[in-house]
Chains A and B, each alone.
Chain A
Amino acid sequence: MTRARFTALALLAVLAAAVASWLLVNLAGRDRAPAAAVVLPEPRALAEFELVDHRGNAVTKATLAGSWHLLFFGFANCPDICPATLGQLAAARRRLVAEHPDEVPRILFVSVDPGRDTQQVLADYAGRFGDGVLAATAEPEVLKRLADDLGIFFRVQPGADDGYEVSHSAAVLLLNPRAELQAVFSAPHRTDAFVDDLPIVMAVR
């Protein structure tokens, strides 16, 4: 084999390897589209808001900035879907901490029931789900503005027993570290879907 032919073959091999790796990266990237999360084409900025968390601290866009957050609207007296969802988020968070300790979203539970969900109730509640969970609420008109901004529905209406019934959107919202809406997970939720999709969505900033 002449030196020229050897060089040509070597160049061809390098070129083939480059094409193969380009294809591999792009096809693999295509496979890693989120399965459950609906990612907004452009992150959506939110209007200013101020909630108060279970420790009595303000929760605003400024305090949320710097970390990813998973938001869920509910109420502490809800025995079924609210704690089940928070349990899934907390379980997903524990699994993600093991794999991606630097970028694990915190959980923000927004109570739409400020009448019953006092700071003490929210402190009990948040404490059940481990680290990285904030529980916060505000006056109804503040909650309404934030919920409207995020496309979340909730209603507190007179009911038969405890005085009123609460209905609320069951979606989980992902806010990016600029406190912008980045993605939405619709119910029914699965822990695996959070574990699989969050690293993909959080890599797209």
Chain B
Amino acid sequence: MSVLPRFALSIVFLGLAGCGEVGGGPVVADAYGYLPLTGGGPAVAYFVVRNAGDEELVLRAFESPLFERAELHETTVEDGVARMRRLGSLVVPARGEARLEPGGAHLMLLGPKGALENGAVCPVTATFADSSSLSFDIVLGHRGSPSAPEADS
């Protein structure tokens, strides 16, 4: 192998490290999501962002090529009343995690650009406040389908 391709490869790996997918950067785990229930309706995704680093990270924005928009929202139930509000950001504490889970924070995927099949793989890119980013895939299933576990069965 000549010097140049090896150098190029190391650049690729450095690039991945910059995205936080290897090394001590943030990682995404337990990602799953549900397809829209109605034509043109929103899909929803849940996952855990783990931060092994010593600095807290702030999730600022999401995007996916399959949807017009991807937004952080949060469901709260207070005095028996459910409300949903948009979150401007979500903190992933140092040596901690942020959980997006049913009944709490979640990723709303709005405006599907095309038809989505059960088990569709949805690429998502998350951008942090320091402009670093993290890309991952979420499998979207129909509620009740094997690829989409119920929150409580």
Closest residue to B41 on the A side, CB-wise?
Answer: A77
Of chain B, the residue at the smallest CB distance from A190 is B152
**What chain A residues lie within 8 Å of B73 (beta carbons)?**
79-80
Evaluate contact between B39 and A124: CB separation under 8 angstroms: yes
**A79 CB contact (under 8 Å) in B108, B142, B150, B152:** B108
Q: How far is the CB of A109 from chain B (nearest CB, A)?
A: 11
What does the 1/0 interface line of B70-90 toward A look like (CB < 8 Å)? 010101010011111110000
Given contact pairs A81-B75, A186-B80, A190-B152, A125 touches B38 in the complex (Cβ within 8 A): yes
Report whether B144 and A187 are in contact in the complex, using a CB–CB cutoff of 8 Å.
no
Q: Is the CB of A187 within 8 A of B80?
A: yes
Q: Which of chain A's residues have a CB closer than 8 A to the CB of B151? A: 84, 87-88
Given A76-B37, A84-B151, A124-B39, are A170 and B77 neighbors across the interface (CB < 8 Å)?
yes
Write out the residue numbers on chain B whose beta carbons fall within 8 Å of the beta carbon of A125. 37-38
Asked if residues A80 and B153 are in contact (CB atoms below 8 Å), the reply is: no
Q: Tally B residues with Cβ within 8 Å of A.
A: 31
**How far does the Cβ of B46 sit from chain A's closest Cβ, in whole Å?**
9
Tell me the count of chain A residues lying within 8 A, CB to CB, of chain B: 36
B80 near A169 with CB under 8 A, answer yes
B37 x A83 contact (CB < 8 A): yes
Binds B, one of A17-25, A159-167, A197-205: A159-167
Interface hits, A83-105 → B, CB 8 Å: 83-84, 87-88, 90-91
CB of A159, distance to nearest CB on chain B (Å):
8
